[in-house]
Copies of this chain bind each other. A is one copy, B any other.
Amino acid sequence: MAALTDPDLLFAAEGRQLSLARALYAGVKDLPIVSPHGHTDPRWYALDEPFPDPAQLLIVPDHYILRMLFSQGVRLEELGVATLDGSLAETDGRAIWRRFAAHYYLFRGTPTRLWLDHVLEHLFGIAEPLTTATADRCYDTIATLLQRDDYRPRALFERFNIEVIATTEGALDDLEWHRTIRDSGWSGRVVTAYRPDAVVDPDFEGFASNLDRLGEITGCDTGNWAGYIEAHRKRRAYFKAFGATSSDHGHPTAETANLSDAAAEELFNRIRRGSEDGRERKLFRAQMLTEMAKMSRDDGLVMQIHPGSWRNHSPSVFRKFGRDKGFDIPTRTDYVTALKPLLDCVGLERDLAIILFTLDETSYARELAPLAGVYPALKLGPAWWFHDSPEGMRRFREMTTETAGFYNTVGFNDDTRAFPSIPARHDVARRVDCAFLARLVAEHRLREDEAHELAGELAYTLAKKAYRL
């Protein structure tokens, strides 16, 4: 039976570009995985329990899959997504799997297809295309394997050759699972990252009580600006104690501010009293990005800014199913104006690292590469989310390299909840980068020895360095 995935996946069809890509890839395919930004659940590594059934593992939590099937008329309930009010959702994993298999053709040409075929073949040893006809056989194979000890989280972590993985936790999280991992004596390196949305965004649900809670946890008086800032410093230190080397900031825009201390304090007080308006909430978020950048300058956490997603675009779906159901839509994002206050404050710092991401590819060549190509504090995160795809990564390289070079980028982030797909995602990224480098060599824009060095940097070294891992 032929393999689901081809050894030359994503390379040129023939000729010198193909042979170069193969040679470059051979040098990087077995490098350890550094996963500096992602959303896997630390509980998995802490408890090391078997993963649930195939559908619960591979379908239900994957918003890439949910969105495509929903767009073609499949109801989320039919895919096992629970409604918030507890009304009926499909619980039969096999039924969900069959539904998915029947619609798998929808993913032709998408990265989901590449990732899943890779997982089916390389993790579960399946060699026949997933269709209605093969759905049950496929399901059984996976379900059986998931019961085996060598398919538990830690075993897979090791089999995947993960050198280090970062999860992301909210500022109020007690990092219990990270503590469990640390105390277990297991050698796998799992670190956290500081995600303070719930305590920097006045529009976040429960913001006021979140600040109270932040005060309790830290022993700081979050009723005033100085105490609030101090509380952040303490939490960041706590996160660092569990391996964190970065913070993560998912604002709607990249807007920053650089208020005087007095003005920041006054703004905080208004917000704490609940007497602020929408403009002030926005300004507060903007100011907090600069505050976080200053803290990063001081404590060395790498700062990641992920702006430009309009979360929960459909209020009906949000009300019925909650967050992360595929209804986050990118928006046009400005960086040159938005980041200026922050950059005026700390942009020239050589020891600060701020990694910028975008969902608006028009900013690559026009804004992000020129900014990262001159400000020492800035680096470019990889092609993100909707652009974590062969064409998206290719456009990223084509539109950033000539102005920012390779060395102002930071390697690959898988950014995923989908643990089994991590090797597949890194494999796609390594292949696309090797194919890009092969093109540069074939066009005599780069020497072959340089391309080999770069392939290793893009696959492994840059991520380690940029994230200080």
A interface, CB within 8 angstroms of B: 5-6, 8-17, 67-68, 70-73, 105-111, 113-114, 129, 310, 313-317, 326-327, 329-332, 334, 336-337, 340, 343-344, 347-348, 350, 359-362, 365-367, 369-376, 378, 386-387, 389-392, 398-399, 401-408, 440, 442-447, 450, 454
- Complex Cα gap A365–B444 (Å): 29
Given A6-B444, A336-B330 in contact, is the A405-B108 Cβ separation under 8 Å? yes
Contact of A442 among B13, B111, B367, B450 (CB under 8 A): B13
Question: B10 touching A317 by the CB < 8 A rule?
Answer: no
Question: B450 touching A108 by the CB < 8 A rule?
Answer: yes
Pairs across A and B, CB under 8 Å, 26 listed: A9-B443, A9-B444, A10-B443, A12-B443, A13-B15, A13-B16, A72-B407, A108-B406, A108-B450, A109-B445, A109-B446, A110-B401, A110-B405, A113-B445, A310-B336, A314-B343, A316-B348, A326-B374, A327-B374, A331-B366, A332-B334, A361-B366, A365-B392, A370-B386, A386-B402, A389-B402
* Residue on B nearest A13 in the bound complex, by CB: B442
The 9 A-B residue pairs with the shortest CB-CB distance in the complex, in nearest-first order: A6-B444, A13-B442, A389-B402, A109-B401, A67-B374, A13-B16, A9-B444, A73-B350, A330-B366
Question: A14 touching B11 by the CB < 8 A rule?
Answer: no
Which residues of B sit under 8 angstroms from A11, Cβ to Cβ? 443
Question: A71 touching B374 by the CB < 8 A rule?
Answer: yes
- Complex Cα gap A343–B376 (Å): 42
Which residues of B sit under 8 angstroms from A390, Cβ to Cβ? 402, 443, 445
From A17, A329, A440, name the one whose CB has the most chain B CB atoms within 10 angstroms: A329
Which residues of B sit under 8 angstroms from A334, Cβ to Cβ? 332
Which residues of B sit under 8 angstroms from A12, Cβ to Cβ? 442-443
Question: B109 touching A406 by the CB < 8 A rule?
Answer: yes
> How many copies of the chain does the oligomer comprise?
3
Question: B366 touching A359 by the CB < 8 A rule?
Answer: yes
Min distance, Cβ A136 to any Cβ of chain B, angstroms: 21
Question: A329 touching B371 by the CB < 8 A rule?
Answer: yes
- Complex Cα gap A14–B13 (Å): 10
Which residues of B sit under 8 angstroms from A343, Cβ to Cβ? 313-314
Which residues of B sit under 8 angstroms from A344, Cβ to Cβ? 314-316
* Residue on B nearest A6 in the bound complex, by CB: B444
Which residues of B sit under 8 angstroms from A376, Cβ to Cβ? 70-73
Which residues of B sit under 8 angstroms from A446, Cβ to Cβ? 108-109
Which residues of B sit under 8 angstroms from A391, Cβ to Cβ? 398-399, 401-402
In addition to A68-B373, A361-B366, 14 A-B residue pairs with Cβ atoms within 8 Å of each other are A10-B445, A11-B443, A13-B17, A14-B15, A71-B373, A72-B376, A73-B350, A107-B405, A108-B446, A109-B401, A109-B445, A314-B344, A314-B347, A331-B366
